[in-house]
């Protein structure tokens, strides 16, 4: 196993802050009611047929390129991504990834949400064509801000949502129908994008929810997100307190993804773990780093620029894992502050520089 030790890869086409919720509403999840024989109905009736209709849109992204790892080039890129951290916390030492790794060779810009709710993010708030056009606009903004790094669009879809109601099995979570995931997969192909499937376990566990998504995670363009905010281990109702993952929860996801990569001879998977409080991730220094999986800790809180930077410094910078992400809220970041949202140019001044950007 090769290790990165702080010291241009050949690019080849391969396949063509405190206690604030990441949800924009105060409820946990989208409260979808199960009716009839296993059929799921959207209680709020937020999604129209036009929203889900599969049509062609004009905006497209560049073809995703995968890389053959050159270790010297990888080292250089990781140092640049660290923004030359003078305290030496970044970059993190770890194994070199398998060939085909997307990080640190690309920046990923994602839209987050659920098709049953207009309040959980832009992915479900706007009709498909409008949403994809807005996403590709953000991709262009990041390309302009950092012309040295390709930008890949992504759709980050909440495939398992935490629920205020316990449900039939009392687990306070609801698994979305696969037809919804299929719709998001089709949309991502129109922009040559990635898909992230996000899991809010409620009173369930990562080990019980993630394997149900294996048929999608076995595809090269599908990756995983897990959200400790909604992991309540003592039976509490999601939304009443901030949840937590320990290293065992996260390492299960790492091991599971690594096994999928090996089984299907895939490029490395990306695992996004949300965070905005100290307690959301415990024993961060015991999270596994393996060649098959690239771990992103995503700063997930909303608020003013000062609050978000403070959260970043305390929970992302001071507790390094591997790669970093930053979530931007179109509404909540400006709701109680005149500072506005962070721009790409401002975020590129952070230490380290976030390589996964999520908009909600």
pLDDT tens readout for residues 1-43: 444 443 323 222 222 233 345 554 433 444 443 323 333 333 2
- Output the pLDDT for position 275: 97
Strands 3-4 and 94-95: antiparallel
User: Considering just the CA atoms, what is the radius of gyration of the chain in Å?
Assistant: 19
Number of Cβ atoms within 10 Å of the Cβ of 199: 26
| Residue 334: strand, helix, or coil | helix
Phi, then psi, of 349 in degrees rounded to 5: -90, -5
Show the CA angle centred on residue 298, arms to residues 74 and 173, nearest 5°: 130
pLDDT > 80? residue 175: yes
pTM (2 d.p.): 0.85
What percent of the chain is predicted at pLDDT more than 90?
77
pLDDT band (50, 70, 90) for residue 57? very low
**8 Å CB contact between 11 and 67:** yes
- Output the pLDDT for position 49: 31
Task: For residue 88, give every residue at least 6 positions away whose Cβ sits within 8 Å of its Cβ, in sequence order, or none.
Answer: none
Q: Peptide bond preceding 352: is omega within 30 degrees of 0, i.e. cis?
A: yes
- Output the pLDDT for position 303: 87
List, in sequence order, every residue forming a beta bridge with 224; answer none if it has no partner.
197, 271
Helix count (H) and strand count (E) of the chain?
11, 15
Q: What is the pLDDT averaged over residues 86-107?
A: 97
**8 Å CB contact between 252 and 297:** no
pLDDT tens digits for 284-322?
Answer: 999 999 999 999 999 998 888 999 999 999 999 999 999
pLDDT tens digits for 98-114?
Answer: 999 999 999 999 999 99
- Cα separations (Å) of 163 from 169, 203, 260? 12, 10, 29
CATH of domain 17-61+105-359: 3.20.20
- Cα separations (Å) of 266 from 154, 237, 309? 18, 38, 36
- Output the pLDDT for position 10: 25
Domain-wise residue ranges, the chain: 17-61+105-359
Tokens of 27: 């409820």
pLDDT > 60? residue 90: yes
pLDDT tens digits for 136-152?
Answer: 999 999 999 999 999 99
First to last CA, the chain: 38
| Residue 324: strand, helix, or coil | strand
């Amino acid at each position: 196993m090769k290790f990165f030790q702080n010291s241009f890869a050949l690019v080849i086409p391969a396949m063509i802050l405190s206690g604030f919720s990441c949800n924009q509403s105060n409820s946990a999840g989208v409260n979808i009611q199960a009716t009839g024989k296993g059929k799921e109905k959207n209680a709020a009736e937020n999604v129209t047929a036009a929203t889900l209709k599969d049509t062609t849109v004009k905006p497209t992204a560049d073809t995703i390129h995968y890389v053959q790892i050159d270790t010297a080039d990888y080292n250089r890129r990781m140092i640049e991504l660290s923004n030359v951290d003078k305290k030496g916390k970044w970059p993190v030492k770890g194994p070199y990834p398998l060939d085909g790794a997307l990080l640190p060779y690309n920046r990923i810009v994602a839209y987050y949400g659920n098709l049953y709710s207009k309040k959980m993010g832009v992915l479900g708030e706007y009709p498909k064509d409008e949403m994809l056009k807005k996403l590709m606009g953000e991709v262009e903004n990041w390309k302009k801000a950092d012309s040295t790094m390709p930008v890949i669009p992504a759709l980050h879809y909440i495939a398992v949502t935490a629920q205020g109601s316990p449900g039939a099995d009392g687990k306070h979570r609801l698994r979305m129908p696969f037809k919804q995931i299929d719709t998001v997969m089709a949309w991502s192909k129109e922009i040559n994008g990635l898909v992230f499937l996000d899991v809010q376990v409620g009173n369930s566990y990562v080990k019980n929810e993630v394997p149900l998504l294996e048929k999608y995670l076995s595809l090269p363009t599908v990756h995983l997100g897990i959200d400790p905010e909604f992991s309540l281990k003592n039976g509490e109702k999601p939304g009443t307190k901030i949840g937590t993952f320990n290293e065992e929860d996260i390492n299960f996801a790492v091991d599971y993804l690594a096994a999928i990569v090996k089984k299907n001879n895939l490029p490395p998977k990306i695992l996004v773990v949300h965070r905005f409080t100290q307690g959301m991730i415990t024993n961060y220094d015991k999270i596994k780093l393996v060649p098959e999986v690239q771990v992103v800790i995503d700063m997930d809180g909303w608020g003013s620029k000062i609050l978000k930077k403070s959260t970043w410094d305390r929970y992302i910078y001071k507790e390094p894992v591997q790669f970093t992400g930053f979530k931007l809220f179109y509404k909540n970041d400006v709701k109680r502050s005149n500072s506005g949202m962070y721009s790409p140019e401002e975020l590129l001044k952070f230490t380290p520089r976030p390589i996964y950007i999520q908009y909600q």
